[in-house]
């Protein structure tokens, strides 16, 4: 039977290899090939891709039929220029693993290597999912819809994500909502352009956009109880190119997030009504794009309690998260289909934030995540 000490040097090297080749959502061709090559020698059932760049493998236990545990890692990168001086820094200009997905994939790979050597200890199966496109595209929705959690049907799912500010060696979670929903919106306001000296002959979409921003800023407080966190953020306003010309169009873009699934429909309805009212008052035509890309990520009670027990029994330290994050995560789609738990693994108190050009998932955190994934799988399979 292999030990964590046996595999750790190879897993660290594997993470570094992934870190060198960051790829964007749906374009993870080199990444998925590297993972497939690694899994080919483990003796697992590696499935044909569901979406093109995903990798899914099954490990069947030596004690016959039983439950299925699914372990998920995301594998895509971000459009950032890496600012670290690591010898394994990104070789793809303008792209880097700034969210730690190389670390997530390495931990699931390490868990696979250890569980292969312990397959005679459990019945049932473990599914290893390496998912493309978590960032922005939420391809977890497509992967779940394509049947990644079927044949065999998953009984429980879990995933890890690095958390800056949490000490290395610490793992944390909470029951219920752990990550927010996220809707992306874009409003195009169409008016009538003209010269700035004669505004009465125009219908100014820029001032309409300003009025819309003012109305939207207070919308969540009017619609959602203050005990249910929700936040609307305007991230982009665009319109016109010259200081003395009223344009025909202006654009407002941003996100709406909440921690309650019940709030999502209320917020979308209120958003659409607000846009329509502002447009009607000012004679402006409005066009709305609204996509609820990420539902609320909700941990089920039983898997979450199992995660607590497993972490407390291991070498890491367990911390109960006092509050949810308003960030979003497409692991929510797995949890909507199957009970499970999303766990944060500490990347250090002084770690740069994720989505930062200096972030690098620390090798020192890998063994704690691998240990959790192995022990959770064995405990869930009984």
Binding-site residue positions for Mn(2+): 99, 101, 135, 161, 355
Q: Which long-range contacts (CB under 8 A, 24 or more apart) does 28-34 make?
A: 28/53, 28/75, 28/76, 28/132, 28/133, 29/53, 31/75, 31/76, 31/105, 32/75, 32/130, 32/132
Which residues share a beta bridge with 318? Answer: 171
SS3 assignment, position 48: coil
Binding residues: 99, 101, 135, 161, 355
DSSP 161: E
The helix-helix angle for 4-20 and 101-116 (nearest 10°) equals 150
Q: Where is 368: in which H helix or E strand?
A: helix 366-381
SS3 assignment, position 158: strand
Query: Sheet harboring 55-60: ordered strands across?
Result: 45-46, 55-60, 125-131, 68-74, 156-163, 340-346, 170-173, 317-320
Report whether 363 contacts 150 (CB < 8 A).
Answer: no
């Amino acid at each position: 039977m292999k030990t964590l000490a046996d595999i750790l040097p190879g897993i660290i090297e594997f993470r570094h290899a992934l870190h060198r080749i960051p790829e964007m959502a749906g374009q993870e061709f080199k990444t998925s090939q590297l993972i497939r090559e690694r899994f080919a020698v483990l003796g697992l059932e590696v499935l044909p891709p569901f979406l093109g760049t995903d990798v899914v493998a099954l490990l069947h236990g030596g004690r016959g039929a039983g439950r299925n545990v699914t372990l998920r890692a995301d594998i895509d990168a971000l459009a950032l220029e890496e600012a670290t001086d690591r010898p394994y820094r990104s070789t793809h200009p303008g792209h880097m693993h700034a969210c730690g997905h190389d670390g997530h994939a390495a931990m699931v790979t390490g868990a696979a290597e250890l569980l292969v050597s312990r397959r005679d200890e459990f019945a049932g199966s473990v599914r290893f999912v390496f998912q493309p496109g978590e960032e922005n595209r939420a391809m977890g929705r497509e992967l779940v819809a394509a049947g990644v959690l079927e044949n065999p049907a998953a009984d429980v799912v879990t995933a890890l994500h690095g958390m800056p500010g949490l000490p290395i060696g610490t793992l944390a979670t909470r029951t219920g909502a752990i990550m927010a929903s996220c809707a992306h919106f874009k409003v195009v306001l169409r008016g009538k352009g003209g010269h700035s000296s004669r505004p009465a002959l125009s219908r100014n979409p820029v001032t309409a956009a300003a009025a819309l921003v003012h109305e939207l800023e207070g919308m969540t407080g009017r619609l959602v109880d203050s005990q249910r966190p929700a936040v609307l953020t305007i991230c982009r306003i665009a319109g016109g190119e010259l200081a003395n010309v009223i344009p025909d169009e202006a654009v407002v873009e941003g996100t709406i997030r909440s921690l309650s699934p019940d709030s999502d429909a209320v917020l979308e309805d209120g958003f659409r009504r607000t846009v329509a009212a502002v447009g009607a008052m000012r004679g402006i035509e409005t066009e709305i794009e609204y996509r609820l890309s990420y539902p609320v990520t909700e941990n089920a009670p039983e898997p979450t309690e199992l995660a607590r027990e497993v972490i407390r029994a291991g070498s890491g330290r367990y911390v109960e998260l006092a509050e949810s994050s308003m960030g979003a995560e497409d692991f929510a789609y797995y949890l909507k289909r199957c009970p499970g738990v999303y766990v944060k693994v500490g990347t250090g108190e002084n770690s740069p934030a994720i989505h930062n050009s200096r972030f690098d998932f620390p090798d020192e955190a890998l063994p704690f995540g691998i240990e959790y994934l192995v022990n959770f799988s064995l405990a869930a399979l009984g």
